[in-house]
């Protein structure tokens, strides 16, 4: 429903010490065109809480002010991310003045924080990537921030960046909650960080935020603006934004010029020595650090043409991740000599001088081959085919696009045939696409097809890359996950240990791939009753995850889900309930509300409640889990079947036997027919239907199913 717009009125503005709803204003901490921001505290005695309270300016005549205020409120209400300040409350004062109550962030603007902590180049890039995660979350909710600048990204004392101020954010998608702002003229912006299309009053998309982030990163790395501000005045700056090609960051640090301090503090003279003092030990070292990949990454984000920038904040962040890990970045051409150089720098300690010399000679010889043009054309055609097929896979992925998976199942078969014909002459691309389709089949519950495709991909990759390569590890991880689903735990353990070993060797233990493989291996240990091993691996993995992303992540949600399952197997039901609930909350924070992983978290949460005799509390959770799973991966899926079985167990506990039996029997029939009696999901369903018949006193029916239990499952039943 569209909010009622109160009159702004013209009474005296509220001041420090005044009451606003249940809050008391303490200090004014910010002001802008829309309103003022105060530090405030809860004053109604309910509990202690310090907040940031934003009041709209009174007496303004701008007709867009109130709609923009409500737009900001709606924007914040839609966002839930550890790198975005949260909306806590809101309302209207007695005299009709609207206000927002937000999470109070004690922190420094991003540039000030980096200067005061003398962050080196790598630390600045890592911190910047965390800020990108918040922007990416906003984009996923169809919001363009339009005012990204250091003052709107505060860094807490723990080193966590928080994105603020969605006052001029723009919806990319029509929405009844999005006010229609009809005034014409120049768009609202902070000119120093505005994109060319904002300056020209053209259409604004997520590419505009990418540009602003490029300006921000340029300043973080060099201390300079990408524009030479030799003449004052907004006209000259607008002209520079639209026409002036920025100097490469590695060259910009050599400039000597006057520039404003952080957040418009007093002007200062920038010299190479001053800039490098808070970044690296010398101008020479800073220049070497910036030259090459970082130059290209920043300049790509600052392209004047929106279509030539990074296609998304996620792609921008990915290139920065690859830079940090010494891998080739997409912003540079994929020349063999460049990629060979990257390889040698990553493996300098493992290559002898002679080996480096031979690699260089081979690299230059191949790069100078008369066949280069032909190879490039074939590569481009193959990459185009790969991009087309990969995008198709993503659209069919039940986690990426959980909608019409029945269609997805039908199209998978067509997709596999297309792989084998379209890229048959490119075995590396064929291996990539077979791996992606194999993993898609796994997610769709087509385990037999998944196994065939993944093993075909593994054979190709081992032939191309050898046994000790990251591309091989990816397939080993997929096969390990699949073996867990199909109950082949000895195989899963072997595959996952091999994948972990490659990731440790190539990327180190503080890499997301190593952490993911460890998390999946812990699941294997849980299923094989190696509880101590599982707990140790999960504890170590959780510590690594929090080092990588202190504010949480989707992967941490998966780990908490695994931990809740371990707790269930250990009969630690209080812990299982707590961890399943936390898993659900973490997964929801970093994914869609229709993500099938959420249904698994709800299922574990509900099962933990069942074991505590809280059947009435469990029922709504399990029904929600069933609806999510059925919508995301259809009713014809092992996860959906397992949830139906757990819901049947809940209804059994409530003595609603007639409702329970159809859920239990259909789950067992589907799982036995499609996945066999030894499958993990089948064994769980068997236990539930046995308990159902025993509760009804039907011992013969219970015994018919009991004989299908594996010995270890029968012992725990």
Residues involved in catalysis: 147
CA–CA dist 643, 41 (Å, integer): 44
- Contacts by residues 39-42 (CB-CB < 8 Å, ≥ 24 positions apart): 39/104, 40/101
Residues forming a β-bridge with 161: 155
Output the CA torsion 314→316→321→325 (10° steps).
140
- Report the alpha-carbon angle 420-450-603, nearest 5: 145
Instruction: Give the sheet arrangement for strand 107-109, strand by strand.
Output: 107-109, 153-156, 161-163
Give 472's contacts (C-beta < 8 A, 6+ positions apart): 458, 461, 462, 465, 466, 502
For residue 545, what is the enclosing H or E element?
helix 531-548
CA–CA dist 288, 274 (Å, integer): 17
CB neighbours of residue 57 within 10 Å: 17
Question: Residue-wise over 219-240: b if at least 16 C-beta within 10 A, else e?
Answer: bbbbbbbbbebeeeeeeebbeb
User: What does 415-457 look like in DSSP terms, one character per residue?
Assistant: HHHHHHHHSTT-HHHHHHHHHHHHHHHHHTT-HHHHHHHHHHH
User: For 261, left (φ over 0), alpha (ψ -120 to 50), or beta?
Assistant: beta
CA–CA dist 377, 598 (Å, integer): 44
- Report the alpha-carbon angle 250-251-256, nearest 5: 120
HEC states along 299-331?
Answer: HHHCCCCHHHCCCCHHHHHHHHHHHHCCCCCCC
Helix, strand, coil abundance in the chain, percent, nearest 5: 60, 10, 30
- Cα 44 to the center of its chain, rounded Å: 38
- Contacts by residues 307-315 (CB-CB < 8 Å, ≥ 24 positions apart): 307/207, 309/207, 309/210, 309/211, 309/214, 310/210, 312/136, 312/139, 312/206, 312/210, 313/132, 313/135, 313/136, 313/139, 313/206, 313/209, 313/210, 313/213, 314/136
CA–CA dist 705, 693 (Å, integer): 10
CA–CA dist 669, 44 (Å, integer): 58
Give 319's contacts (C-beta < 8 A, 6+ positions apart): 297, 300, 310, 329, 330, 331
- For 635, the 3-state DSSP assignment is coil
Name the nearest CA neighbour of 74 among 137, 133, 139, 2. 2
Name the nearest CA neighbour of 657 among 607, 693, 619, 629. 693
């Amino acid at each position: 429903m569209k909010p009622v717009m109160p009159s702004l009125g013209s009474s005296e503005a509220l001041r420090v010490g005044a009451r606003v709803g249940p809050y008391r204003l303490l200090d004014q901490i910010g002001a802008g065109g829309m309103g003022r921001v105060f530090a405030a505290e809860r004053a109604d005695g309910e509990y202690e809480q310090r907040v940031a309270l934003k009041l709209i300016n009174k007496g303004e005549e701008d007709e867009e002010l109130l709609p923009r205020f409500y737009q900001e409120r709606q924007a914040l209400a839609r966002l839930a991310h550890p790198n975005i300040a949260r909306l806590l409350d809101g309302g209207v004062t007695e005299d009709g003045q609207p206000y927002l109550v937000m999470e109070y962030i004690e922190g420094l603007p991003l540039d000030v924080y980096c200067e005061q902590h003398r962050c080196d180049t790598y630390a600045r890039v890592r911190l910047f990537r965390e800020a990108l995660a918040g922007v990416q979350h906003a984009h996923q909710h169809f919001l363009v921030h339009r005012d990204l600048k250091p003052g709107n990204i505060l860094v807490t004392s723990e080193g966590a960046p928080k994105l603020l101020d969605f006052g001029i954010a723009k919806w990319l998608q029509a929405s009844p909650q999005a006010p229609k702002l009809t005034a014409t003229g120049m768009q609202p912006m902070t000119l120093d960080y505005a994109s060319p299309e904002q300056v020209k009053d053209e259409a604004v998309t997520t590419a505009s935020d990418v540009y602003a982030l490029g300006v921000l990163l340029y300043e973080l790395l060099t201390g300079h603006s990408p524009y030479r501000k030799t003449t004052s005045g907004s006209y000259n700056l607008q002209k520079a934004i639209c026409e002036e090609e920025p100097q490469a960051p590695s060259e910009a640090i050599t400039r000597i010029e006057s520039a404003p301090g952080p957040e418009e503090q007093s002007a200062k003279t920038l010299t190479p020595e001053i800039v490098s003092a808070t970044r690296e030990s010398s101008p020479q070292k800073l220049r070497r650090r910036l030259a090459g990949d970082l130059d290209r990454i920043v300049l790509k984000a600052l392209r004047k043409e929106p279509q030539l920038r990074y296609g998304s904040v996620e792609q921008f962040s990915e290139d920065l991740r690859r830079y940090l890990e010494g891998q080739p970045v997409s912003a540079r051409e994929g020349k063999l000599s460049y990629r060979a150089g990257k390889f040698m720098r990553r493996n300098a300690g493992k290559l002898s001088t002679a080996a480096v010399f031979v690699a260089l000679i081979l690299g230059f010889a191949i790069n100078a081959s008369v066949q280069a043009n032909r190879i490039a054309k074939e590569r481009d055609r193959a990459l185009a085919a790969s991009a087309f097929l990969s995008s198709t896979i993503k659209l069919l992925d039940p986690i990426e696009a959980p909608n019409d998976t029945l269609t997805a199942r039908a199209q998978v078969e067509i997709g596999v045939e297309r792989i084998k014909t379209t890229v048959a002459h490119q075995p590396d691309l064929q291996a990539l696409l077979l791996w992606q389709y194999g993993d898609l089949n796994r997610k769709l519950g087509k385990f037999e097809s998944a196994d065939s495709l993944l093993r075909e991909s593994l054979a190709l990759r081992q032939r191309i890359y050898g046994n000790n390569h990251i591309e091989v590890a990816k397939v080993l991880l997929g096969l390990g996950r699949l073996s867990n689903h199909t109950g082949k735990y000895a195989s899963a353990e072997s595959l996952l240990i091999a994948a972990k070993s490659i990731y440790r060797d190539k990327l180190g233990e503080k890499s997301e791939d190593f952490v993911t493989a460890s998390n999946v291996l812990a699941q294997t240990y849980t299923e094989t009753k190696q509880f101590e091993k599982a707990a140790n691996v999960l504890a170590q993995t959780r510590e690594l995850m929090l080092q990588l992303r202190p504010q949480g992540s989707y992967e941490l949600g998966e780990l908490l889900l695994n931990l809740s399952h371990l707790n269930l197997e250990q009969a630690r039901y209080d812990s299982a309930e707590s961890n399943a609930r936390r898993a659900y909350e973490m997964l929801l924070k970093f994914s869609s509300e229709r993500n099938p992983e959420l249904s698994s978290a709800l299922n574990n949460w509900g099962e933990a409640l069942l074991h505590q005799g809280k059947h009435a509390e469990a029922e709504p959770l399990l029904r929600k889990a069933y609806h999510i799973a059925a919508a995301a991966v259809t009713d014809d899926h092992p996860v959906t079947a397992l949830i139906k079985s757990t819901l049947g167990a809940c209804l059994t506990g409530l003595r609603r036997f007639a409702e329970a039996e159809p859920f239990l029997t259909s789950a067992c029939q589907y799982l036995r027919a499609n996945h066999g009696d030894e499958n993990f999901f089948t064994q769980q369903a068997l236990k539930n239907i046995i308990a159902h018949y025993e509760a009804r006193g039907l011992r013969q029916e219970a015994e018919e199913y009991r004989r299908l239990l594996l010995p270890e499952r029968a012992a725990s039943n």
